[in-house]
Chain A
Amino acid sequence: DTGVSQNPRHKITKRGQNVTFRCDPISEHNRLYWYRQTLGQGPEFLTYFQNEAQLEKSRLLSDRFSAERPKGSFSTLEIQRTEQGDSAMYLCASSREGNTIYFGEGSWLTVV
């Protein structure tokens, strides 16, 4: 049983460029989450999918952010027109219903 997989693990991009992160959850996990973590802080909730339906988006997620989970399998998180304040680690997690949430290794974003 493989864990949550995220790629790329590291991304350096210039301000104004678009970036996309991919998350492959644990097989048969119907719930998928995205969190953002900045240095020295705990993760903050961004968005949640149950199967393919995006059920909640945090106010942290501006209009430049979009997440999808086509067919209820993998998910993508796209950030358009990146800003320096977007520099953070983006963590994906999955769970089966209300059970324990398992996280991936995260995708580090640096906007220069």
Chain B
Amino acid sequence: AQKITQTQPGMFVQEKEAVTLDCTYDTSDPSYGLFWYKQPSSGEMIFLIYQGSYDQQNATEGRYSLNFQKARKSANLVISASQLGDSAMYFCAMRGVAANDYKLSFGAGTTVTVRA
């Protein structure tokens, strides 16, 4: 079984500053993938970034980077230079990487509000 924990229900960040969203996980799978999705008020879940458990380097994608600490079972998302359009709900999710692993397990999400 996989479990994702996001302990920050809501966060405020000033425009142009960086924000870190926490995500811890628990799994018995030896290999797994970690995902972050953004969900604006329109509802669409937008894929942001992926980290494989055996990747040697932390994933980066534009202004998004993932601070992956395998021993601590954490996969925090860092958004640099926040923009007003970053205001949304952010979900951490994980899935095993075996051929028959297909279900994503999601955390409860963190609401980010960017202030001008």
Contacts and interface: CB of A to CB of B under 8 A. Distances in A.
Main secondary structure of the interface of B (DSSP, over half): loop
Given A40-B108, A41-B108, A42-B108, A102 B47 contact: yes
B84 interface: no
Contact of A42 (B43, B97, B99, B106): B106
B45 interface: yes
A33 B108 contact: no
Interface string B92-116: 0101010101111111110000000
Is the interface on chain B under 10, 10 to 19, 20 to 34, or 35 or more residues? 20 to 34
Contacts of B108: 40-42
Interface residues of A, number: 26
Contact of A103 (B45, B95, B102, B109): B45
B37 interface: yes
B104 A101 contact: yes
Contacts of B103: 33, 45, 48, 56
Interface stretch (A68-76, A79-87, A104-112): A104-112
Interface of A: 31, 33, 35, 40-45, 48, 50, 55-56, 89, 91, 93, 95, 98, 100-106, 108
